[in-house]
Amino acid sequence: MKEKIDYVIRKEETVDFTGIREINLQAFGNGENEANLIELIRNSENFIPDLSLVAANGDGEIIGHILFSIIHLVTEQGIVPTLGLAPMAVNPGYQNSGIGSSLVKEGIKACKAFGYDHVFVLGHPNFYPRFGFSPSSQFGIKAPFPVPDEVFMALELKKGSLTGLKGKIEYPPAFNAVS
């Protein structure tokens, strides 16, 4: 087990942008796509400043980041705004120390506080279920592209909020620009 790390989770600030970019480049092994995605989302109508969170250590260094932004669930009844969790990154030197879990927990708490109903994520099937995520197919909701069922997941922030909303997730153009 790694030694305990002191850090705080807070809303991102302008001075954090370079650190956030670096975290994504490191965490995703030359994660140029993820780093660019954050900047594209930040400059779009889908960005929610209060849902871009960082983990900063005692020296103020950014050691983790999570971003939730507006995406859409396209159903037969119409388009339903929802949230996408992407990306989430932790500095490789700080991984496996609980920072990623703290970012997800605090992020979910913030999403609930701002009144959102659900969140979708394309992510590791052994990580996100511990926070309540389950395959979106269980709700009759498809990913916008072919992926294994267990990696595209949904979380109801309000119980029953996905009931009857069968359809397909649609990501905004920012996501297409970095594929």
Would you say 166 and 139 are in contact if contact means Cβ atoms under 8 Å apart?
A: yes
**Is 70 exceeded by the pLDDT of residue 179?**
no
Average pLDDT value for residue range 93-101? 95
Share of the chain above pLDDT 90, in %: 93
Share of the chain above pLDDT 70, in %: 98
Q: What is the pLDDT of residue 157?
A: 99
Give the span between the Cα atoms of 165 and 152, in whole angstroms: 16
What domains appear along the chain, each with residue ranges and CATH number? 7-174 (3.40.630.30)
Q: Which amino acid is at 61?
A: E
Which positions ≥6 away from 35 have C-beta within 8 Å? 20, 21, 24, 25
- The CB-side HSE value for 169 (13 A sphere, CA atoms) comes to 29
Average pLDDT value for residue range 89-106? 97
**Is 70 exceeded by the pLDDT of residue 50?**
yes
**Is 50 exceeded by the pLDDT of residue 150?**
yes
Which positions ≥6 away from 112 have C-beta within 8 Å? 157
pLDDT in tens, 2-22: 567 899 999 999 999 999 999
Give the span between the Cα atoms of 136 and 120, in whole angstroms: 8
Q: Which amino acid is at 165?
A: L
Would you say 76 and 168 are in contact if contact means Cβ atoms under 8 Å apart?
A: no
**Is 70 exceeded by the pLDDT of residue 62?**
yes
Higher pLDDT, 1 or 6: 6
Which positions ≥6 away from 167 have C-beta within 8 Å? 73, 74, 75, 76, 80, 140, 141, 142
Average pLDDT value for residue range 33-50? 96
Mean pLDDT of the chain: 95
User: Which pTM does this prediction carry?
Assistant: 0.95
